[in-house]
């Protein structure tokens, strides 16, 4: 039996408290997981550029003493992030790699924090807050303070949506939209639902995965506010992220007429093997979640060590097709700035 760090707390505890007390110091993370102290200095240097943040719930699913734990690798700052180099290059030579805005968010900004990239839908960067900081995050350099679509900018956001009648779906992203309180989230959704031509709201969130207590809020009114169709796209990369705490939490969404999907990022040393991806698809099905996308890594500065070659990704998808029913095989895609949709690979 694999020894893991003890799980924390009961569902009745306030989710905001766990969010506020997430681990932020590399020394603390390394000490709790009994990892070599030699990783501390590099982690501290990298965390100065992109801070460490991980919930105790997510930490409890990591294996003690295992520096290669697939969940740990997603959140542990490494000195490698500061090199801006990729070890997948030709003949073993390192090459420069990565951009601050790899998906063209700045070019697509119709108004502060409102991204209009694709026909029929817009993305609202609703908050800068996340429960964990994934080291491959493509928005780790995003100017959240300058591009805040809520607050004083929200009337302009609503005006843009009202004037553009070809927009039918609003995607709440961030940060993580479920880090917003129920009351505030409910107000936002109610205002969106009042726009006649909007018919769908989509949540892109990792909070139910890394902080399942979020779904134990007593209200969850935002699930039923207005007449909008509701879609929730979760972000789960590895089967070890799905535990009993998550399963119990996700059951609370059943009966609320919400479509549950999952998107993963293909990450070197984490899920770049067919067995992990196949196990993830089966575990998602058990939770009532369908695989949606397997994303090629966005080339954000600092994440080169996570990149998997596209050819390898295609081989993995082919192996999944040979071993899974079609509805459990995610679409392998890449986001290319300026394209009218995600590009199938």
Rounded distance between C-alpha atoms, residue 72 and residue 62, angstroms = 6
Q: What is the pTM of this model?
A: 0.91
The confidence score (pLDDT) of residue 13 equals 55
Tell me which residue has tokens 């018919």.
Answer: 199
Tokens of 130: 């996340």
pLDDT of residue 340: 87
pLDDT tops 60 at residue 117: yes
User: Residue 97's pLDDT band (boundaries 50, 70, 90)?
Assistant: confident
Average pLDDT over residues 176-192: 92
Mean pLDDT (the chain) is 90
Write down the domain spans for the chain.
Answer: 15-82, 109-344
pLDDT at 88: 45
Helices of type H across 164-273: 182-193, 207-210, 244-251
Q: Which CATH number does the domain 109-344 belong to among 3.30.1490.20, 3.20.20.70, 3.10.310.70, 3.10.450.630? A: 3.20.20.70
Q: How confident is the model at residue 89 (pLDDT cuts 50, 70, 90)?
A: very low
Phi then psi for residue 297, to 5 deg, are -55, 130
Give me the sign of the Cα torsion angle 195, 201, 205, 208: positive
pLDDT beyond 80 at 12: no
How far is it between the farthest Cα atoms of the chain? 58
* pLDDT band per the 50, 70, 90 thresholds, residue 84: low
């Amino acid at each position: 039996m694999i020894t893991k760090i003890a799980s924390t707390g009961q569902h009745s505890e306030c989710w905001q408290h766990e969010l506020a007390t997430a681990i932020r110091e590399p020394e603390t993370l390394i000490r709790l997981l009994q990892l070599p102290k030699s990783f501390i200095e590099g982690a501290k240097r990298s965390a100065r550029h992109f801070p460490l943040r991980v919930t105790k719930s997510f930490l409890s699913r990591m294996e003690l003493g295992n520096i290669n734990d697939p969940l740990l690798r997603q959140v542990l700052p490494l000195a490698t992030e500061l090199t801006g180099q990729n070890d997948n290059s030709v003949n073993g030579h390192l090459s420069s790699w990565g951009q601050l805005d790899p998906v063209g968010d700045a070019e697509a900004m119709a108004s502060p924090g409102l991204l209009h990239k694709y026909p029929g839908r817009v993305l609202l960067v609703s908050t800068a807050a996340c429960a964990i900081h994934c080291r491959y995050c493509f928005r780790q350099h995003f100017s959240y303070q300058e591009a805040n679509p809520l607050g004083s900018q929200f009337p302009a956001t609503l005006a843009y949506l009202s004037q553009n009648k070809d927009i039918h779906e609003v995607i709440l992203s961030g940060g993580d939209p479920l880090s917003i309180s129920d009351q505030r989230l409910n107000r936002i959704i109610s205002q969106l639902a009042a726009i006649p031509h909007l018919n769908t709201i989509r949540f892109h969130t990792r909070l139910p995965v890394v902080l399942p207590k979020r779904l134990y809020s007593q209200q969850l009114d935002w699930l039923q506010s207005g007449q909008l169709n509701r879609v929730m796209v979760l972000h789960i990369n590895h089967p070890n992220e799905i535990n009993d705490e998550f399963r119990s939490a996700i059951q609370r969404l059943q009966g609320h007429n919400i479509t549950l999907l999952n998107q993963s990022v293909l990450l070197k040393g984490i899920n770049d093997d067919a067995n992990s991806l196949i196990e993830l698809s089966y575990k998602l099905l058990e939770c009532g979640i369908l695989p949606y996308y397997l994303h090629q890594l966005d080339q954000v500065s600092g994440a080169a060590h996570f990149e998997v070659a596209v050819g390898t990704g295609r081989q993995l998808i082919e192996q999944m097709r040979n071993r899974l029913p079609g509805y459990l095989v995610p679409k392998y895609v890449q986001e290319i700035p300026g394209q009218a949709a995600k590009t199938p690979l």
